[in-house]
Each structure stands twice: as C-alpha cells, then as structure tokens.
Amino acid sequence: MTKSLFSLSIATAALVLVGCSPSGSNDQLSAGASTTVHNAIQGEVSCDELAGILSYCGFKNPEDLAVIPGGEFLLVSEMGAFMSDLPNTLSMLDITRGERVPIEINWEPREPRWGDASCQPPEASKFSPHGIDLITRTDGRHQLLVVNHGDEQIEFFELTAAGLNSALDWRGCAKPGNDAYMNDVAGLQDGGFFVTHMWNKSTPFDTIVAQLTAGEKIGWVWEWQEESGFTKLPNSDEMMPNGIAVSEDNTKLFVNVYMANKTIKVDRLTGIVEGEVSVRSPDNVVIDTDGMLWIASHLNDPVNERCEDGHAGPCLLEFQVVKANSSDMSSEVVFHHSGAPMGYATVALPHAGRLYLGSASGDRIASMALP
C-alpha cells in the first residue's frame, strides 16, 4: 500500500515515475458507469448505497482485508498515516450487518511461541498495522501475520475464534533489522513467510525520491524461515515492492512493484521472473481459490490530487481493479471508478459474490457485486 505516495513538495519527482496518463479506453466499468469526478477529492460523503456500491463506515484507513473462517466477517487492518508509524488497530467488518466490530487482542505471550524465539514482544501502545495475511496452518490453527511499523517487525497472532467472538492471541514475532521498511506479508505452509521491503527506513526521503526518480531498485523481497531467519529473495531488487501473494502450492510469488507499474510472477526458489502484467501503481494483490489475481491500482495524479492525512470521509481518488490469470498473466480491467462514495482502493478482495474494497485513506470499506 502507499498513502498518496509523496507529499506535494516532492510529488513532481514521483510523477516522473508514476505517470499521469488517463486510464485506457478499454477499461470495463462495473456498477453502471464511473461516477463523475468531484472537485473535492475528500470530504463528508453519505454512507448510503450509490451506483450499486455499498459503504461500511466507521473505519480509519482500512488498508488491508482478509476473510475470517466462516465467511461472515472480514478482518481489517486499520493503518496509521503512511510513513508516520502512528498507532492504529485491527478490527472486523460484520458483512451481514454492514458494521465495524472491534476485535480483542491479547498481548500476553503464549506458548509455544511462533516466529523467532529471540524476537521481543512489541509495545502494544505503538502497534501500527499495515499489510496482513491470514492462513490456516498445517496443525489447523489460524495464523495471522501483520506488518507492524511500531516496532518494524512481523507479528504472529492466532485467531482463536471465528465470528462475532473472534479474538487474537499474540504468539510471537520476527524482526528483520537491516534498516527494513516493510509493506505486505504472505504466509507459507512451512511456517515461513515472504515480506516486501520498500526501501531503507533511515534513508532521508529526499534521497529516496532521487533514487526512485533515477530508476534505482532500492527495494526487495525478504523470506523468513525459523532455521535461517531473514534472507533476501534472489533477483528481487525492484522499485518499491508493495503487495505480495503466494500461490496455493507455495511455489510462485506475485509481487506488485508500485513505482515500476507492474505485477510480476516470480519462482520462489530461483527468483526468476516468469511473467508480468502492466498495472498502473499496483497496491495490494489478492489470489483467489481459482488462481485469479485481484490487483488494486491507483490512477490519481500525485501532483494535483491527493488526500491529506486525517481528513473526514473517504478519499475519492480515481482507481481501478485489474483481474489477472496467475498461470499466463493475461489480464483485464474489471472495475474503474472515480468519485463518491469511495476511492483510492488499496485492496480488492472477492468474497461471497461481492468485491470488497479497502483504502489507506478514509473512513470506509466499500463493496459491489462481483464484476
């Protein structure tokens, strides 16, 4: 995910990489037609249904989503302002009622620990979630991985119940060090995970902008395993790796490279890129049970269109959703939207006949019938 990637003072440099060309004329529209772009790109917007889009309000920057077993609730990562490391929380969306529901988090360490035995428990008051991944372990337990910017480490949680009484027990962590600044995480059946590293966290941001503007590949992908810790995926250097997902058989990775405008398919063992999709500013990527990729793509002009941190209502920046076949990486735009009731989608999650959209900036989750 990115949050209006650069401030106005450096947006011109970012524009060189992201581009400002309009979306292609072959974009397929859903929910009728695209809503007219509003003059204001943020502000108070009703939570009533509009153009076939439902809004679920009461959230704060619901950047990433996952389906809780049972299917009646979504787990929500409510993110602090991008690059601020401000604390925020995890919550749930009750799909049936269309309401935000808190989720209990127990921070007392439980045994046996998961993750790196030497990793220290986080400061709960600093918890700053970003990308998440919820998987079922081989022992049948439900494991949630969370990128936590408060301590810049991956937190392991166990989801101990499903439904309205869902709760999370902290079970351990893994800290990359190496000046990491992470974004998204994907769990593996063998107990490990992959995580994207955008750039070195201590590097002055003006320097980062200059590096990206020059086309430097200053980010990469980490793999973590209990025996070996963090190791860099071969050949994974890229221009701001963002969302990441893994195939069902855990042999292929799908990585969104935000500043290079592409989603790549990577062999897990060799790091060889086996295919790619051209996608404008791709954020999170979700892989469904049919092996289809759902990619949230930003279309806003970073110079003239951005949403300030802490604004009221939704961010209404233009976005699209790209659906790609994970086998041959063929793709199509299945949804394109500008304006109310919600914009700047950072994740597109298909579930139970609907497409759920989260955003790193704003007060709501949205959904519509699957295109």
- Burial (0-12, 13-18, 19+ Cβ within 10 Å), 32: exposed
What domains appear along the chain, each with residue ranges and CATH number?
Answer: 11-369 (2.120.10.30)
Closest to 90 measured CA to CA, from 81, 106, 79: 79
**What single DSSP character describes residue 228?**
T
Q: Average pLDDT of 269-274?
A: 94
Dihedral pair phi/psi, residue 15, rounded to 5°: -60, -35
**What single DSSP character describes residue 352?**
T
In whole angstroms, what is the distance from residue 346 CA to residue 63 CA?
A: 6
In whole angstroms, what is the distance from residue 275 CA to residue 145 CA?
A: 27
Q: Each residue of 143-195: pLDDT tens digit?
A: 999 999 999 999 999 999 888 999 999 999 999 999 999 999 999 999 999 99
Q: Is the dihedral of CA 113, 119, 123, 129 positive or negative?
A: negative
Q: Each residue of 294-308: pLDDT tens digit?
A: 999 999 875 567 898
Q: Each residue of 32-72: pLDDT tens digit?
A: 333 333 334 777 899 999 999 999 999 999 999 999 999 99
In whole angstroms, what is the distance from residue 217 CA to residue 220 CA?
A: 8
The upper half-sphere exposure of residue 149, i.e. CA atoms within 13 Å in the direction of its Cβ, equals 24
Whether residue 342 contacts residue 359, with contact meaning beta carbons closer than 8 Å, is answered with: yes
Residue 130, token pair as written in the block: 């970003």
Residue 44, token pair as written in the block: 């108070």
Residue 38, token pair as written in the block: 């509003």
Q: Is the pLDDT of residue 319 over 90?
A: yes
pLDDT at 363 (0 to 100): 97
DSSP string, 162-212: -STT-EEEEEEEE---TT--EEEEEE-TTS-EEEEE-S-TTS-HHHHHHHH
Q: Average pLDDT of 81-106?
A: 95
Dihedral pair phi/psi, residue 260, rounded to 5°: -105, 0
Helix 205-213 and helix 11-18, axial crossing angle in degrees, nearest 10: 30
Whether residue 174 contacts residue 116, with contact meaning beta carbons closer than 8 Å, is answered with: yes
Whether residue 199 contacts residue 152, with contact meaning beta carbons closer than 8 Å, is answered with: no
Q: What percent of the chain has pLDDT over 70?
A: 88
In whole angstroms, what is the distance from residue 198 CA to residue 258 CA?
A: 9
